[in-house]
Amino acid sequence: MTPKRLIIAVTGASGGPYAVRILQLLRAVPDYEAHLIISSAGAVTLRQETQLKPADLATLATVTYRNSDIGAAIASGSFPTSGMIIAPCSIKTLGAVANCDTGTLITRAADVCLKEGRPLLLMVRETPLHRGHLRVMADAADAGAIIAPPMPAFYTRPASVADIVDHTARRTLQRMGVPALAPEPWTGLPHDETPLAPSNSGRSPDRASERA
Ligand SMILES: Cc1cc2nc3c(=O)[nH]c(=O)nc-3n(C[C@H](O)[C@H](O)[C@H](O)COP(=O)(O)O)c2cc1C
């Protein structure tokens, strides 16, 4: 049986811990292979945020490629993969993907996923966002990419940063079709916690009391 290959790319946005957690989780799924690429800036931010070097991350992957290796297997649509996650994804890489700029293995492999109709998830991380950022996000989404900024969810009542990272990593893998790693599904509010009733029936706030 052909293994399911997921390409994981790490670029120079903040969010190295997400890449680490995604790779750790994927390693526990027997029929999946992780194909890893790290950009130069990704290596810098990873080191800053986790103290890990690319070689450390490579121990969690099945195969690791140089970002300059545009002749690698994953640069061709003839090499079957289950898609690609870019986590974290910088604005620079987002812009390249949106504009079909395939000058590196990361952007070429991403373009291959889009042209072959395979899922491509961009964990874009930047804030605040100007109109140019939003425009390239829309362009990438129009080409078929999944735009998934790492926005923490608090309804799960995370107790630590590790909980927040774990939840986002699991939701990312769930979105990519790895159900074995999905977080506990939400089953509705607990019965003993009734939602708050609307406080001012939709009236606009009282400006005078706001100023007080
Ligand atoms: C510590 C650090 C944090 C950064 N955080 C971000 C970020 O959150 N988002 C972003 O788009 N760029 C960020 N950058 C800038 C990118 O690393 C830079 O634009 C780089 O050229 C991206 O290259 P790449 O997409 O090839 O990895 C950061 C850089 C450093 C050193």
Which residues span the domain enclosing 9?
Answer: 4-211
Q: How confident is the model at residue 204 (pLDDT cuts 50, 70, 90)?
A: very low
- Which pLDDT value is given to residue 200? 52
The predicted pLDDT at position 210 comes to 43
Please choose from 10, 11, 44, 45 the residue to mutate so as to test ligand 1's pocket, defined by most ligand atoms within 8 A of CB: 45
* 3-state secondary structure string across 94-120: HHHHHCCCCCCHHHHHHHHHHHCCCCE
What pLDDT does residue 41 have? 98
Q: Omega before 190 cis (within 30°)?
A: no
What is the whole-number distance in angstroms between the Cα of residue 65 and the centre of ligand 1?
20
Find out whether the beta carbon of 16 lies less than 6 Å from any atom of ligand 1: no
pLDDT of residue 205: 45
**Per-residue pLDDT reduced to its tens digit, 102-141:** 999 999 999 999 999 999 999 999 999 999 999 999 999 9
Q: Taking 70 as the threshold, does the pLDDT of residue 32 lie above it?
A: yes
Mean pLDDT of all residues in 187-210: 59
Q: Tokens 């931010």 — which residue? A: 45
Contacts of 43 (CB under 8 A, 6+ apart): 10, 53, 54
pLDDT at position 208 is: 41
Q: What is the pLDDT of residue 198?
A: 60
Domain of 149: which CATH number? 3.40.50.1950
Q: According to the model, what pLDDT value does residue 3 have?
A: 81
Percent of residues, the chain, with pLDDT higher than 90: 82
Ligand 1 centroid–CA 14 distance in Å is 7
Is ligand 1 within 6 A of the CB of residue 95?
no
- The answer to whether the predicted template modeling score (pTM) of the entire model surpasses 0.85 is yes
What pLDDT does 179 receive?
Answer: 82
Q: What share of the chain is helix, strand, coil (3-state, %, to 5)?
A: 40, 15, 45
Q: Ligand 1: which of 8, 10, 14 to mutate, most ligand atoms within 8 Å of CB? A: 14
| Structural domains counted in the chain | 1
For residue 64, the 8-state DSSP code is E
Q: Are 16 and 46 in contact (CB under 8 A)?
A: yes
89-93, 150-154, 191-195, 204-208: lowest mean pLDDT where? 204-208
Ligand 1 midpoint to CA 46 (Å): 10
What is the Å distance from ligand 1's center to 50 Cα? 15
Q: What is the mean pLDDT of the chain?
A: 92
Give the contacts of 95 (CB within 8 A, at least 6 positions apart): 101, 136
Name every residue whose Cβ is closer than 8 Å to that of residue 110 and which is 6 or more positions away in sequence. Answer: 9, 84, 86, 93, 97, 120, 145
107 C-beta closer than 6 A to ligand 1: no
Residue 1 in this model has a pLDDT that exceeds 90 = no
